[in-house]
Structure formats: C-alpha cells, structure tokens
A and B are shown apart, each in its own frame.
Chain A
Amino acid sequence: MTTSPKTMMAYEHQSLLREIDTYKDTVSAIVAFIHECRWDQNNRVVNGTIPFGVGRLMRNAHDDQLTPDIVIQRHPTQGVVAEVKTTFPPDNTNNRRDEVFQQLKSYDVELFGWWSLNGQVERHDIVLLTHDSHVVDATDHFVGLAGKEIGRFERNLAFVGFYRSEQHHSYITLRKHSGDLLDHEFSSKLRRSVPIEARHIEQQQKKFYDGCPPIPYLLSLMWTFLFPTYAEGQQRDARRGFTPVEVTSDQVTTDLQRYYGFEPDAHGNRGIPRGEWIEEALEALVSFRMAQRGNGPRRFVIRYKGLTGDVLERFGRLFHERREKESQRRRAPTRQPTLFDNL
C-alpha cells in the first residue's frame, strides 16, 4: 500500500522562519539579560568576574535537579535565576500557565550549585523573562494565583519583558514590568527599560539556549559554517560528487558549544547545545541521504558538498517531508499483506 503524496501537508517556509525567529529572539533576550546583569555602570564595562550559566544544573535541598535557563551570581552572597518563556501560554488550558509558575516556584527554595565554597548564596531573585507582548498576561495570571500555593513566593519574583524594535537601528529592549530585585538600583534601571543595540548582541555569536532549536536551522548552521572546516584537506570523491567527512556527534557538539553556544565546565555548566540535539540533526542528515552512519556509536560520515541556493529552505523542505512521511506511516493502518495484493 503506498501513500499518495497528495495527502502530504504542503511545506510552508514562512512557518519555519517564524519558528527560527522565536528561537533567535529567545537567545538574544538571554544574551541581553546576562549582559545587563554583568554590566558595571560605574566603570562602563562588563564585569567578567561575574559568573553565569545557561542551562546550569542546580539542586534543591532534596537533591532534585533543576535547570533554570539562566543562573547569574551578581554578588558573592546574591544571585539571580531566570526562566525564559518567549511565548507565555495564551490561556490556562491543561494548566499550561500554572505550570510556568510551578516551575518558577521550584526555584523559590534554597538552591545549591552557586559559585561559592558551599555552593550556596544567602539570597537569590527569580525572574520570568518573556516577550513584552505577553508580560501583562503573565503578571495578571500571577495576581490571579493569590492565595494559592504556586502564587506565594518567599523570594523576589520579577517579570521582565523583552522586545525587538526597529527604527534607524535594531534594538533589543529589556523592561521590568513588575516585581522587585535585591539590587534596587538594577531593579530601577530595568523598570525604566534598557535598550541594547542588536548588533552588539549578534556579534557575541551565541546561537543556542537550553531548548532544542528548529533542526533545519541547526543543520544550516552546521552545513554552512562548521562542516567546511571538517572537509578541509579531505579527498573529494569525484565519482560520487561529495567529500566524505567522518565525524562523531560528540565532536560536532563540542565545536558548536565552542563557537556558537556555551561550553561545559567543571563547575556545573553542562554545555549548550546538547549532544542529543546534534545526534537528532545528524540522524536527519542520514535520512536525507546526506550522511551515513559510521562504524560505531555516534559516528557518522557526512557526504559533504557545497549546496546552491537557500540551504535553510532546502533543509526545511527535507525535514518537513521526512516528518510528514513519518506521521503518515504512523497513521497508516497496519495490515498483513495477502497473497493477492500484487495481483
């Protein structure tokens, strides 16, 4: 039984671009927030001694693992944990909005994993970073939680919105909508809004946060900028029209963390992007016949060649077709073939 291609959903490139925009905006907001937290207003420099982690592993008193999107220790005895929800759920169907506050509430305890000898700080703030158009919804929902357990916070909970604005320059602006922070000066500055030129943020070359990016975006980045470095000096297979490049997903992960993400360290930062996202992307290449599995776990041979046209669109289309085929396979009724099927 074959599936008619007519039943496939048509590929919509704009929808992929929107998804990538959301992902990129989240990364930009994280970079902007970290930048502001480390900014030394008196000396007008970034204070490089302020430690931070993206997707850093923290623990509570019960030794449960927690991974806030951002952890920053602005002071030896004070820190900030922030969760980024670019899109705050539009309603509370399936308690989706409540879940956000449950997650924030889980940070409202003594946390371990700070940059101190005992891994603790005296106090920390909790921040919800969300798109500016959603911050009112988030605040209102929190007000509505008054009297409930997830609406009661012992520590400061601040709602910070971010938005991209375009006039003559492109800016990412951070603005605290409500709540307070331990550092009143910093809190007041955020309340008045902080615009940061987008070019300053983009030059940091951070492309990932602790959430899996759209796979076609990840593949475009790898194929356009990373794989050419692996193909250097490798013999091109003229007959097959590509350069076979042996890689391991660990190697690709390490390189992407080094050049476009956050490197792991011995102090609890696990490294972004995560190995499993890279493996998923490499598996996608195998299904596109642009790579094959190598000898051994997490080994791949990339069939590297320069691609013409819009590489992102090509990967978007291939990925969409793959997903459609998989979903059709899942939908198709399984039936034992009979002797007469081919007659």
Chain B
Amino acid sequence: MKELLASQNQNELYEKLAALGCEKPLQIRVLVAGSHEPIAELISGRLPFPLAVQRKADFFQASFDYEAGQLRLNGDIFFCRARFEHISYAISVCSRTVWERSIMRLARVLYPALIPVYFSQGEMLDLLERAKTLFPNARLRISGHTRKKRLKSGTRRKYESSRTKTERPLEVVFKEAQEQNFWFQSVNFDYLGESREVEEHNNSLPSATISKYGAFFCTSDFDRFRYSILQEMAQIGERKVDFFSNRSRRFVERYQARPISITFEGPVFSSGEDNKHFIGLLRKMPGASCSVLHGNPYVHLFVKDRLDDSGAELWVLKEDEVLLIPQLKASEAALKRMVNYIFEEWREGRIDNLAQNDDGLRTPVAPPRD
C-alpha cells in the first residue's frame, strides 16, 4: 500500500495496481460514478468522517483513520478521472467492511453531486460476457451472486434476497434468474484454467465482482480489467449521465419538457390492480414523496426526490409505458434514481429519449442502450 501512496501520477498508480495481487479480505475496489466536477472537489464541507485529501499531478489521494463504535476504520482512496468527461473512479485496496462502512458512506453523502451509475441486468450480462474473453486460456465461472426478488404486496417481507455460491455457467445463471423474476445486485466470478497445466501456469488467476450499483472488485490483473470492464462501465456511465442531463425545464428552450419514456415488453398496466400495485410501490420510494392525482384508468403522479428536491410528473397513459416528465428542478442523479427504482421494484424496461417535433408528435431518438 505504501507503494501506491507514493505514486505521483495516475499512470504510475495504475502500473502499481496492475502489479498488485490481493489476499483475502483485501481486494482492489473501484466505484464508477458520475460528476460534473472532480470528486475531490465535491468533498469539501460535507465529510461524514475526517479525510485528508492530497492533490497529486492528475489525481487526488485521500486518507482516513477514525473510530466508528468498536471499529477502527482506516484506508486510502484514489480519485481518478476515467477517459470520459463526467466519470471518475474511486479506487481503494481494502476489505468489504471498510468499503461499505467508509467509502460507500462517503459516496452516499455526496449524492446528488456524485451521480450513481446503475446497470441494468442486460448491461451486467454484457459486462460479464466481456469478462469471459479477458483470459484466453481460462474460462469464466460464476462463483456466487447476490440477487433479489420483490415479494408480492401483502407479505411482511419486502424482498426475497439470497447470497448464493455457485459454479454454474453465466448464461444459465442469468436465464434462471429471469425465469424466477430475480435481479442481480452483484455477481462474483473467477477464472479456471482450461487444463491442469494452464491452471498451474496461471495459479494466480483473479476473482472479481461486478455490482449493479457501479462497483467493481478484483484480486489482481487490474490492468486487464481496467482496459475492458472498467472502461465499458465508464462508457455506460457517461452515456447515462448524458441521457439524464439537462432535463430541468427551466433551462430548456421555451421551457419545453424533455420526457423520458420507459417502455416494457408487453402490456404491464392492463388492469386497475396493476396501476394500484405500481402506485403503491411509488408511494414507498425511499427519500421521495409521491402525490397521486389519478390512479385509474390512467396514472398521474407528482414525484419528488426529497434528497435534492428534484421533481417529475409520472404518467401511465399506455399499457406498456411509463412517462416521466422532469420538472423545473431535475438532477441527473434524481432522475436516474427514479428510473432505477422503477426498474428494481416494478420491472426493467427500455428508456427512450422522446423529442418533441413541431407537429406535436414524438419521435424516439438515440435511445441509450440498457
């Protein structure tokens, strides 16, 4: 770790990370997040714990060491810019406890200036497909996953969640999850040599984790992951920041709405019960308030993110579509959070950017991949 701290620039840091192999419980942990300013500049004034920030040539390094109850939490975070304008990496070599208790806590405090990146299940599968090709003489094996399933209303528990160890192929795991209506929060994978010889030769093949919330962990081979998985994660993140940006009606020409359409495969609002269930979910959205103006046969809600006061109107005017109309204050972070909440709690759909033509009809343009 001392070697990492001695890095003077981002390339040097990456080289040292590339040479690093971690033993349990340590891993190289990266959070991919969006922001309009460098993360280190967001930190001033809103720290959940003492943090000493040091500027290096082209990145920032922050150290912390504090007591939290019975625990002493310490570590270092490196804030690096990805190759995309609005995306940064927060990198740390640490245990899961330090990651969850310190670094993720810091990320939550920085919301909405720090824009979380959420991956759809399709994007997670694509990332894992990409991971398959990273080590030519080895095969990728899913070693475990954390997945969730929303339980029907009326039961005491909101979710059925499971943390499972497995050794099954990637496609099988995803197909099964889809059939059972589960979605993955994170997927752990490792690499196995195709033959005993290869395995012996590559006795240090890495294990890694991809999370739906923009985190990536690995035990070694950081460089290979950086040029493939992390870069793809950053690219998806950038595309989403772009997609959700500049939707506040105050700053759009003639104050026009820039609605987001979420379409689902097939009719998912075909009865009053569907609408009621959907409204019930929106009413329970954490950190948000929801006013119901109409519930059936169409749905009309005012939704507000209470964390940053962003607001949107939500309409269901078609059996297979939710229309989100961002209002006067509408941050990227809040809109992403609303869409992600609908994806997690209702079901995943496809997001489209709907442009308003002069004829008053809307034409889908440049939908982001999801």
- Chain A interface residues (CB < 8 Å from chain B): 17, 20-21, 24, 35, 44-46, 48, 164, 166, 168-170, 197-200, 202-205, 217, 220-221, 224-226, 228-229, 231-232, 258-259, 306-313
Contacts and interface: CB of A to CB of B under 8 A. Distances in A.
A309 B289 contact: yes
B360 interface: yes
5 contacts: A46-B358, A169-B319, A170-B298, A205-B256, A228-B309
Interface residues of B, number: 41
Given A199-B323, A308-B306, A46 B360 contact: yes
Contacts of A217: 293
A309 B300 CA distance: 15
Nearest to A221: B302
Interface stretch (B112-120, B221-229, B310-318): B310-318
Contact of B317 (A45, A199, A259, A307): A199
A259 B358 contact: no
Contacts of B304: 224-225, 228, 306, 311
Interface in B309-350: 309-311, 313, 315, 317-319, 323, 325, 327-329
A310 B291 contact: yes
B250 A229 contact: yes
Contacts of B358: 45-46, 48
A45 B291 contact: no
Q: List the 9 closest A-B pairs by CB distance, nearest first.
A: A228-B309, A170-B317, A312-B291, A166-B297, A306-B306, A225-B327, A45-B359, A311-B291, A199-B317
Contacts of A225: 302, 304, 311, 327-329
B302 A199 contact: no
B292 interface: yes
Given A169-B318, A205-B249, A225-B304, 7 more contacts: A17-B293, A45-B357, A166-B298, A220-B302, A225-B302, A225-B311, A229-B250
B291 A308 contact: no
Given A44-B359, A203-B257, A229-B250, A310 B289 contact: yes
B325 A203 contact: yes
Interface in B354-370: 354, 356-362
Contacts of A198: 298, 317
A313 B292 CA distance: 8
Given A199-B323, A259-B255, A313 B291 contact: yes
Given A44-B359, A168-B319, A20 B293 contact: yes
A17 B302 contact: no
B361 A200 contact: yes
B301 to A, nearest CB: 9
B291 A224 contact: yes
B283 interface: yes
A202 B325 contact: yes
A63 to B, nearest CB: 35
B280 interface: no
Contacts of B237: none
Interface string B232-271: 0000000000000000011000011101000000010000
Given A226-B328, A229-B250, A202 B356 contact: no
Nearest to B354: A203
Contacts of A231: 309
Contacts of B315: 199, 202
A225 B361 CA distance: 25
Contacts of A200: 360-362
A332 B250 CA distance: 48
A11 to B, nearest CB: 15
B208 to A, nearest CB: 39
Contact of A220 (B259, B291, B318): B291
B318 A224 contact: no
Contact of A229 (B300, B328, B360): B328
A45 B356 CA distance: 12
B303 to A, nearest CB: 8
B209 to A, nearest CB: 35
A46 B359 contact: yes
Contact of A312 (B249, B267, B302): B302
Nearest to B258: A203
A308 B283 CA distance: 10
A171 to B, nearest CB: 9
A308 B313 CA distance: 16
B206 to A, nearest CB: 44
B292 A310 contact: yes
A34 to B, nearest CB: 11
Contact of B325 (A48, A170, A205): A205
Contacts of A35: 360
B277 interface: no
Contacts of A17: 293-294
Contacts of B94: none
Contacts of B309: 228, 231-232, 306
A21 B299 CA distance: 12
